[in-house]
Amino acid sequence: MKYIYNEKKKGAPVFVLLHGTGGTETDLVSLAELLNPEYNVLGIRGNVQENGMNRFFKRHGEGQYDWEDLEFRGNELYEFIEEKAKEYDFKMEDTVLVGFSNGSNIAIQMMLKQPETFKKAALFAPLYPADVAEKQDFSDVDVFLSLGEGDPIVPESESKRVISLFKERGANVTTAWVNGHSLTQEVAMQAKNWLN
């Protein structure tokens, strides 16, 4: 997987940056700088191609996930982050997942599969169109969700499903609403206040 690692301060938390469809490993670097300039940064590029665009997992259409591929890619990404944690000497528990759209979706997948690992996430425009039977314990998880009103990709009912997914598992959830499928300066500032 292609990635960048920017170390700002030994022992500081690490942002794991997960871009949206068509993005790259550097897309969310300016967001990370805004959220906290002292945190280290691991930006990862999705290694699935859809019409020449980078993604983290396959889908059959808008909002129609290839669940088998998501499972496989979620594990693959988790192992990749673990490798980098060893290589750059940081703890998995010190990571903060930061995702937009497709990146948020694979972040949710990893959090559900590794509930004891990820304790903090800022997820912008997430979509996870499935009912999850297993009740993971997210009581020590803090999550910031930026959701879209009138989002052409994520219906409001699906945004509410994501909120419920975290709340039902006991996570400490902070929500913000924006217009459409976007990541605005304003919501980035709200995420910054949440994080710090």
Active site residues: 101, 151, 181
Distance (Å, whole) CA 144 – CA 7 = 24
Q: Could you tell me which residues come within 8 angstroms of residue 125 by beta carbon, excluding any fewer than 6 positions away? A: 20, 100, 101, 104, 146, 147, 148, 151, 153, 154, 181, 182, 183
Q: Phi and psi of 153, rounded to 5°?
A: -100, -40
Torsion (CA) 43, 24, 80, 91 in degrees, nearest 10: 10
Q: Phi and psi of 68, rounded to 5°?
A: -65, -45
